[in-house]
Amino acid sequence: MSESFDVAVIGAGPGGYIAAIRAAQLGFKTACIDDWSTTDGKPAPGGTCTNVGCIPSKALLQSSENYEHAGHAFADHGIGIAGLSVDVAKMLARKDKVVRQNNDGIVYLFKKNKVSFFHGLGSFAGGTAAEGWRIEIKGPGAGTIAAKHVIVATGSKPRVLVAGDAAVAFDNSLILDNDGALSIPEVPKRLGVIGAGVIGLEMGSVWRRLGAEVTILEALPVFLGAADEQVAKEAWKVFTRQGLAIRLGVTITGVTIGKEVTVEYSDTEGAKQSASFDKLIVSIGRVPHTASLNAEAVGLKLDERGFVAVDEECRTNLANVWAIGDVVRGPMLAHRAEEEGVAVAERIAGQHGHVDFNTVPWVIYTSPEIAWVGQTEQQLKAAGIAYRAGTFPFTANARARAMGETRGFIKFLADAKTDRILGMHAIGPLVSELIAEGVVAMEFGAASEDIARIVHAHPSLSEAVKEAALAVDKRTLNL
Ligand SMILES: Cc1cc2nc3c(=O)[nH]c(=O)nc-3n(C[C@H](O)[C@H](O)[C@H](O)COP(=O)(O)OP(=O)(O)OC[C@H]3O[C@@H](n4cnc5c(N)ncnc54)[C@H](O)[C@@H]3O)c2cc1C
């Protein structure tokens, strides 16, 4: 007879493993199934985020930034380095070690919380809400389990480029997905990147800092269209000055693969262009990962774009079957997946789990970093909402000057009448951390005056946040 659980989670990415831990904390007998393996066949829970996404990209961004600082910024501090070199193999090995530490951390957390982990591919094998859902596991942890509630958290996979009529398959030798982009064995001389989104900009930055000539080809005519225009404009200025060649409004018409990769494209004016690269990263978005679920066996409904169809509470069309994270609608971000995981576990327990999409922060870990929460100026204008804006540049922040990191600014947008904060937008040093203040403020319904009246440590980057809030009322103290 198959073992029965209260909750079974399929997928142990940030959505799935957090959902499993929260379900176990709430007293449910919980299973989590995940198929990701290390090269030697061991379980590697953590999903895309831990294995080939958030974590390894940040490890390489840190290593490459250290290298760039040592080569360029240290001299300003009076520090000279003779014979600076980079050992890519060692850098990649360090990145892999950071990933393993995170995999091991999740294995430990499962044990600590008494979550039963099954290493393998889970798929629906029948059942009903009344009798429980049956899940078949194939792989090292093979077997069948039954569960009263199932949380689908199978994530996403990279979208394949279609050039003209032909699909350009990933080979992770010349045509790289995010996995390949994080494992290039030596610095390519010419690196092409298709897609100027978060992943393209982060990966392009890593390899540019290490010495590659990087060209980014983007289909959209505007740069970072989802960001506030003022931030996007500043980012464009900084990134192009750093040496990233970014071409907008491009239509890829063909890709030829030989010793090198040649990309044929038409530019904004429709003129035919071509460029050759030693490696090509394709980062044009991600698609939901549902193929292995055997959704048809139970009639689990997918939407027209292939995502598992859910309502705003992550309920699917099947009673007691839920879905969270990248496999459902919404921003493909690890923290959104995690929060949905917590909320669903709490809903199963009869509590009122909630995720506020309006306060989900966005971060791009380039240098300078970019971060935002809430609405942009262009969104407020389009919605006809009257607002006041306050901006403060890092050039006027003492800590930023001491760090030698004065690029960028913080900006608040506040309702013109009530002063309630509607958005915070930032480009500059460690804004991935500073954005948390904007998120907290918005969650608590704060006004810009609230931030302006809070004591911020001196000297700190957070003083730029306070000053931007003061700027909403046109009364900065240090500008
Ligand atoms: C290069 C890169 C950098 C990124 N950086 C960031 C970042 O800095 N911050 C951020 O918030 N987001 C980042 N993301 C996005 C983030 O990784 C995803 O939003 C997040 O991983 C989604 O979590 P998830 O749990 O929904 O799915 P995933 O992390 O994709 O996990 C799903 C898991 O389910 C497994 N699985 C799938 N089908 C089955 C099955 N049938 N049976 C068993 N297991 C199955 C998969 O193998 C995988 O382990 C990045 C993504 C990439 C590619």
Give the model confidence (pLDDT) of 239-286 as tens digits.
999 999 999 999 999 999 999 999 999 999 999 999 999 999 999 999
Residues of the chain with pLDDT under 50: none
Name all contacts of 292-297 with Cβ < 8 Å and 24+ positions apart: 292/35, 292/121, 292/122, 292/123, 292/154, 293/10, 293/122, 293/123, 293/124, 293/152, 293/154, 294/123, 294/124, 294/125, 294/136, 295/124, 297/123, 297/124, 297/125, 297/126
Report pLDDT for 49.
98
Please tell me the distance between residue 343's alpha carbon and the centre of ligand 1 in angstroms.
Answer: 18
pLDDT of amino acid 264? 97
Q: Is 193 in the pocket of ligand 1 (CB under 6 A)?
A: no
Distance from the alpha carbon of residue 109 to the mean position of ligand 1, in angstroms: 18
Report the run of H or E that residue 23 belongs to, with start and end. helix 14-25
Note if 119 is an active site residue.
Answer: no
140 alpha carbon to ligand 1 midpoint, in Å? Answer: 21
Task: State the Cα–Cα distance between residues 366 and 58, nearest whole angstrom.
Answer: 10
CB distance 359 to 443 below 8 Å: yes
Question: What does the pLDDT read at residue 1?
Answer: 55
Q: Given this model, what pLDDT does residue 141 score?
A: 84
Condensed to tens digits (0 to 9), the pLDDT of residues 9-27 reads 999 999 999 999 999 999 9
Decide: 178 in ligand 1 pocket, CB within 6 A. yes
C-alpha 256 – ligand 1 centre gap (Å) = 30
Q: 15 CB less than 6 Å from ligand 1?
A: yes
- Residue whose Cα lies nearest atom 49 of ligand 1: it is 47
Evaluate whether 265 touches 274 at the Cβ level (below 8 Å). Answer: yes
Catalytic one of 77, 289, 456, 458 = 458
